[in-house]
Chains A and B, each alone.
Chain A
């Protein structure tokens, strides 16, 4: 192991240790926020996988909803355990993601952005229209919080640890994909699609694969959310929520694995601090989005890279070129 690897390992151990003691130190309200934070962590990291190929979609939160609705159906009708609903919801979201991306693959950039919005709304409106199955505009209620053995996940602390374990597994897998050859292939498609195709990369296949992998993990996030909230409704997965996901990514950056995580942490803090300014919040976050798009299009991670480059000259910063910003 090199020195950077040791530093990284030490940092990771510290973060995990902090995450393990946190529920015993914070207020119950903060613990609920931490649980939602862990779910959002899976969601924001999963968004980066298709974004690596340059595909920014507006349907990601809807695909999270697919996971949530699957969980709602499976646990209320079939009474399945949380250990089954979570992976099954992920598989359903992954397969549905693969199906909806097939027509979308014919578009690129802004076209993809809009096409994904249209198809996402189509999926979302089926929940509104099919009242008997999905409960219509009011959604579905009575989803159990889940239990593992004799541990009831209704209580915040065990729920938190369950989410922590799932988030850790998901992030480890996504990190491995990021650093793997397939991750490099995704980025190669973003860098030069024509060249990628010329050297034998089946571009549509890999774009579909990246998208479906992203929706698979979004499905996990959705399943966890459904269990935690006990209810799902179509409004929770609409464009407003999607915009917050975009804000996390734009604030953090998407060139490295860490960008979206940094964005989520910063915006979650900002979100909590602005709670007294409830009515002004959309305006504030809209302003934040524009500020970052104009003044720091690479996100906070590009700022870190710039600082590091200034301190250690001669290092290549991999964060300078962000894999595609919306509308590019």
Chain B
């Protein structure tokens, strides 16, 4: 299927042809005048073949547990006892520097520091500090790599999340999953290479939108497929009443014939893409019931993820489904869990959110490990930015809020060639600035692609006259993260 699909690239659309012809002839003449070497060819500029890793990958698949809304690093993975000591004091200007603030706290006349309401404990052989509201993640501390120095350019949810997912703050670039699908192809031809699962927690929520899992300018086959939060994760999979398997097959064959005729005439690659999508949907009718049937999961697996994993649409259920999709060769499973945007009432909201995700997130890693899949599956847990070390709104000992903070925040990764049982990067005593080993979003993307066997500078797509990549024109692979 992939082969046929990529053959389409050899065909050009009519619009494409006229566009090229007009600009092309003049351009050729001018180009050859200015740069005589232009048409001699440059081997290094050729991009690598699609559908195969550029070099032997550490990870074949990604499960991205995106904690939408920005969980606070101070109540999770960045232990800052100094904040508790200095609680109530103003954030020093030398620390804050030129950091811009959101409209929500910019007008505050004081920035009282606030320490974590929750205690921290060291876990595992690595002695990683993890907050008490994440006991299960604590129990697998030796399997994860905590990054404390993520930093991003955006300060509000929409651009930050878009940046995190697509490498640009404006919403027209392909998502990480789409790039993976484009670069590496599909492992299981009976399922989409890029699946998206949504859930909502009990904290203050922020929206998710389809631009986060868009194929952008890539072909629509690379778009993230959103699963339903209902009992049937994929709707309309069963044949309608009165249509049997053979009838469905005949219908698809006839339709494909018509579509091929159409393609012969208009040469639009999207037509062929559509035929392939129909074929995949047909095979999904067999593949998906095996996936969504939870009755075959042993009891101890259910207990591991927690009984919520049986309630469709919950985070736990999505994480279990993500494991099954990934196990079945889905290249990129993207989960979004909403509710981390604690501008106020943070201690309570954070505890509820942690309760929703702690057990199942840890279970996923343990479960992949015991199946022999963790070494080839990269699990990422984290949000779009962090939260401020000072209080938003009124500060009391057991109730406070935190605003958005893009300079330094924490995430963790596991499996897929990541250095397990380590903490990467360091923030200052007040957690505001990166002191050591910054991980910019572009670096993060470059590193994730590297783990997947992709040279982030060579997976490109030419669009509107220039080559694009997930890391745009930046990004360094960070060897310190790689085992």
Q: Please indicate whether A and B come from the same complex rather than being unrelated chains.
A: no
